[in-house]
Structure 1
Amino acid sequence: MNSRAKAIQNFFSDDSDDDDLHQQMVAMAVQHQTFLLEQYAQQSKHGGSVAGREYKNRKREKYHKNLMEDYFCERPLYPPVDFRRRFRMRREFFYRTLNNVVVHEPYFTQKIDACGRQSLSPEQKLTAFFRMLTYGCSADSTHEYCRLGEFTALECLRKFCSVIEAMYGQWYLCSPNLADLYRLLHKASHRGFPDMLGSLDYMHWERKKCPTAWAGQFTGYKHKPTVVLEAVASYDTWIWHAFFGVVGSNNDINVLARSLLFNDVVNGVSPHIQYVVSGNEYNLGYYLADGIYPGWATLVKMISQPDTPKRKTIFPKTRGL
């Protein structure tokens, strides 16, 4: 077992592949959310009481009890199937994340306020955050169920993003080490793809709240502002490379031109790889990609034997595969 696997086991009580994938996706989503929050960092912040603002008794104790009875008690109103559909994770995974976050950041612990009342519970804060992250809703929309004010919900979002990135970023948002690289190459070779490093692809994440002044920089053929995410995934669904947020990243080629993925290859510090395919010797690892990418030596496209003139132009035969 390599050092990465041992470190992951320190965070979680079991080694479920499903939970591991969920934690990767949470880490990636948090990284994306952190990028969006940085865009609004220059906006004015609330500070202290505001004269003339009406006090709202949100009855947070009552709604904490309702939340616990709905999802977190021994016999909740909604079964595990409903919890997984609405939270996009199992309840056990939710609590492991909650416990790690509370230990790392005191902001999420439940305290007694100046009036002697219980403050918001960790379950309320994390539920509000996951609702915003899962459904892309606004901070104010979590008020009716979780009883968090708009500023509190945004502050919870900022704190949670910082905690997750600090705790899991070094394990789930990093390049593979030598042990990981050996495992990836060995498994790919066993499946008939000698020295394949992973599958490379892009996806568009819509920015519904993109400022109008920036919309043109992030609008491409989707005809709406999007952030293009570049990701490399291995056979075991480990997403070990993610790159996004480039201004002007309207299509996949623009992102590839700015990506850090091939920096080691360009600088001559990439791992030494040597193998033979169809009598030809190669010294670079490669990624599986679709037909939009250029015909680089580090990319192998999905159609190896095109059968029409159009496909022969779009998908040239590469590397004899």
Structure 2
Amino acid sequence: MKILWWLHWSFDHIQRQLPRYRGSIPGRAPNLNRNRERGHALLYADYFSNTPLFKPDKFRRRFRMARHVFNRIREGVVAHDPYFECKTDALGKLGFSSYQKCTAAIRMLAYGIPDDLVDEYVRMSETTCLMSMYKFCQAVIEVFGPEYLRQPTAADTERLLATNAARGFSGMLASIDFFARLAEGHSPPVNFEINGHQYNKGYYLADGIYPQWSTFMKTISKLQDEKRKRFAQMQESARKDVERAFGVLQSRWGIVRNPALSWDETKLWEMMTACVIMPT
């Protein structure tokens, strides 16, 4: 009985010591010859050559962006992370190209499909497809995040205030980024007057699930007269801007609208943020 227990413990111990992602090992041939060079050649001929098989409309539909935008993103992630460089493996064989790795990542994000539905076309293993998507999202955030997720400037604030005032909500900042800065006390100054009262901080439209903070303007639940009904209607209409924007995001990036039980919180944040940064 003790011997069986020891054998079982030894097997579990050895299994835990094995690397989760196994790369090329010198002296051992790969189990499957995927012909990665031909995979790159076909992909390049299909979409990236001077006379590609598929025209720009097909590229935009399948990659969710124009070809020149894809190339800008690809060049940015290659310069940022050596993982996307085309290198030789332990056997001296040329590795996967940045086109293959970025295409695998984009396809998984665009269609919300698992890695084993991408590997046949790009000639990469499921593990490599998944790792490419993880690293692609991280690189997009680190390279393009400072430009496209920057904090709003005073000019941005004035433009939003003017737009929202025209809709009947003076002093309203309809952005969660603005609210984060507001909660930390770093929001740009916002001065407006309502019913003779002066205010120096903006507010954020919210529904009933949020706490009773002065920076939240909630809808009216008990609609007793036409005035309150009109306010609730206008408030809910303006609040739906975020829902509409998220609907556009879902229509472009399938991974956003699919179940996400298999992802941890960090990976979910990275994928969502990368989709927000990239064009829709």
TM-score with structure 2 setting the length: 0.62
Residue 87 (str. 1) matches residue 63 (str. 2): yes
**Does residue 1:150 correspond to 2:126, yes or no?**
yes
SS of residue paired to 1:126? helix
Matches within 5 A, 1:1-321: 45-48=20-23, 55-189=31-165, 193-198=169-174, 232=176, 240=177, 261=179, 264-265=182-183, 268-289=185-206, 297-300=214-217, 315=232
Q: Residues 85-124 of structure 1, C-alpha deviation per residue, up to 9 Å, x if partnerless?
A: 1111111110110111111122212234455543211111
Please give the per-residue CA displacement for 1:226-246, whole angstroms capped at 9, x wherever unaligned.
Answer: xxxxxx4xxxxxxx47xxxxx
Q: 1:303 to 1:97 in 2, by over 3 A?
A: farther
Aligned amino acid, residue 191 of structure 2? Q
The residue identity in structure 1 corresponding to 2:132 is C
CA deviation string 1:136-187 (max 9, x = no partner): 2222221100111122222222322221222122333343244533443355
In 2 relative to 1, CA 188–129 (structure 1 residues): closer, same or farther, beyond 3 Å? Answer: same
How far has the Cα of 1:74 moved from its partner? 1.8
Question: Which protein has the bigger strand share?
Answer: 1
Shift of 1:131: 1.1
Per-residue CA deviation, residues 204-251 of structure 1 (Å, 9 max, x unaligned), is: xxxxxxxxxxxxxxxxxxxxxxxxxxxx4xxxxxxx47xxxxxxxxxx
Is the CA contact 2:60–2:66 (under 8 Å) kept in the aligned structure 1?
Answer: yes
Cα distance change, pair 304–181 in 1 and its aligned pair in 2 (3 A)? farther
Task: Decide which structure has greater helix share.
Answer: 2
Rg (Cα) greater in structure? 2
Give the CA deviation at 1:189: 4.3
Normalising by structure 1, we get a TM-score of 0.55
Per the alignment, residue 226 of structure 1 pairs with: none
Matching residue's letter, 2:123: R
Partner secondary structure for residue 152 of structure 1: helix
CA contact (8 A) 1:273 1:283 kept: yes
Contact 2:24 2:90 in 1 (8 A): no
Tell me if the contact between 1:196 and 1:285 (Cα under 8 Å) persists in the aligned partners.
yes
- Structure 1 CA distance, aligned partners of 2:113 and 2:234? 45
Mean Cα deviation higher: 295-304 or 119-128: 295-304
User: 1:84 Cα shift?
Assistant: 1.2
Local SS of the residue matching 1:95: helix
Instruction: Tell me by how many angstroms 1:61 deviates.
Output: 1.4
Letter matched to residue 171 of structure 1 = E
SS at match of 1:197: coil
- CA deviation map 1:264-293 (0-9, x unaligned): 44x655443221134343332123446765
Give the gaps of 5 or more residues in structure 2.
1-17, 236-280
Q: Relative contact order (alpha carbons < 8 A, sep ≥ 6): 1 or 2 greater?
A: 2
Which amino acid is 2:100 matched to?
Q
Please tell me whether the aligned partners of residues 295 and 316 of structure 1 are also in contact (alpha carbons under 8 angstroms).
no
Q: Give the corresponding residue for 1:18.
A: none
CA separation in 2, counterparts of 1:141 and 1:53?
Answer: 24
- The count of aligned residue pairs is 215
Query: How many Å separate the matches in 2 of 1:97 and 1:131?
Result: 14
Of stretches 100-109 and 297-306 in structure 1, the one that deviates more from structure 2 is 297-306
CA distance in 2 between counterparts of 1:186 and 1:307 reads 30
* Structure 2 Cα separation of the partners of residues 268 and 143 of structure 1: 48
**Structure 1 position 54, deviation (Å):** 6.0
Gaps of 5+ in 1: 1-42, 200-231, 233-239, 242-260
Q: The residue matched to 2:34 in structure 1 has which SS?
A: coil
Q: Structure 1 vs Structure 2: percent identity of aligned residues?
A: 43
